Amino acid sequence: MNTPDVSLIVPVYNGGENWTRVLDALAALDPAPREILIVDDGSTDDSALCARERGFNVLRTPQPRSGPAVARNLAAAHAQSEILFFIDADVLVSPDAVARVTRGMSDKKTDALFGSYDDAPADASFVSQYKNLLHHYVHQHSRREATTFWAGCGALRRETFRQLDGFSTTYTRPSIEDIELGNRLARAGGHILLVQDLQVKHLKRWTLRSLLSTDIRDRALPWAELLARQGKLPSDLNLQISHRVSALLCWLLLAGVLASFFASILWLGVGVMVAALLALNFELYRFLFQKRGAWFTARALPLHWLYYLYSSAAFAYVVLKNARPHRRAPRAQTFISDSNV
């Protein structure tokens, strides 16, 4: 079998106890990519050494803690293949991942594609299970024609990546650099696919504190800034109409609970809000019930509703902050891909 024309890129900073499992999964890829580039972002542990001992090509960022955007751009500049396949340092790829990528990119009209986490997260804690199952469900139930990108398991054509100037290095920590790249690609007329059978196993352990910190600081706020500059809300992934209505209902539910302490009749309204939220998100809650049972689902409800509250609050904060003189959004870049030739 011919070696696929794929360069697989993994940025890493202190890979930790699971890093050897990640490397072993990369070594087991069948077929293997043309090359695997590990980019060490100034790790203080033996992440780089472990990769070298297993025969991987290891690059280093010019400055420690430059961020995954800089690390991925560095590897892309060294890559020799037509397809750049990005993987996070805390996921396990399936042996046929490269085959799925090359199959998805076989259509020259496809400029990029990405997958999702699987439905069997490695960490058994409740928050880790909830966070990863939610990610899996959202990606598995979104449109195949996407307007975003995910670098946890995603691929782009190298020429497309070059014409878009790669990931924005204004993001110096793991954030929405991949979403922002996908946004630029979509606005430039690129074709992005969400490939539902391209899945990886997430190894990260989430706590409530790390979930809230990441979701608010590194996701909700910068994503709201991006949407505010763009001036348009795409109806996909976490921004589907049902999600927007759910966010409004969560605020009404919170107001109703507080007001009910002063007027008990308002508890009827609270019941209506809860019923509406259950109905709007029924498929998700049924999925959680089928995967983890009733007790897990019951605990997931308030966490999911909290997600709607802080995500919508972050967006409202950014809108109000930017309500001063209007800042014009940057014009979308255009590019010529294989599909346009």
Give 1-59 pLDDT, tens digit per residue.
567 899 999 999 999 999 999 999 999 999 999 999 999 999 999 999 999 999 999 99
Q: Is the peptide bond before 31 cis (omega within 30 degrees of 0)?
A: yes
| Gap between the Cα atoms of 232 and 153, Å rounded | 26
- Mean pLDDT, the chain, rounded, equals 91
Which one, of 3, 68, 81, lies nearest residue 38 by Cα? 68
| Gap between the Cα atoms of 116 and 139, Å rounded | 6
What is the number of other CB atoms lying within 10 angstroms of the CB of residue 202?
25
pLDDT of residue 129: 98
pLDDT of residue 161: 97
The answer to whether the beta carbons of residues 50 and 20 sit under 8 Å apart is yes
Cα angle 102, 104, 109 (rounded to 5 degrees) comes to: 110
Residue 211 has pLDDT above 80, yes or no: yes
The answer to whether the beta carbons of residues 86 and 180 sit under 8 Å apart is no
Burial of 199 (0-12, 13-18, 19+ CB in 10 A): buried
pLDDT-derived band at 236 (thresholds 50, 70, 90) equals low
Which one, of 20, 63, 25, lies nearest residue 41 by Cα? 63
What is the number of other CB atoms lying within 10 angstroms of the CB of residue 322?
14
Backbone angles phi, psi at 91, to 5 degrees: -130, 155
Displacement of CA 82 from its chain's centroid (Å)? 23
Residue 201 has pLDDT above 70, yes or no: yes
pLDDT-derived band at 238 (thresholds 50, 70, 90) equals low
pLDDT of residue 235: 54
pLDDT of residue 331: 43
Choose between 229 and 78: higher pLDDT: 78
Domains along the chain with CATH numbers: 6-206 (3.90.550.10), 237-321 (no CATH)
Backbone angles phi, psi at 205, to 5 degrees: -95, 120
Give 127-162 pLDDT, tens digit per residue.
999 999 999 999 999 889 999 999 999 999 999 999
Residue 340 has pLDDT above 50, yes or no: no
Residue 102 has pLDDT above 60, yes or no: yes
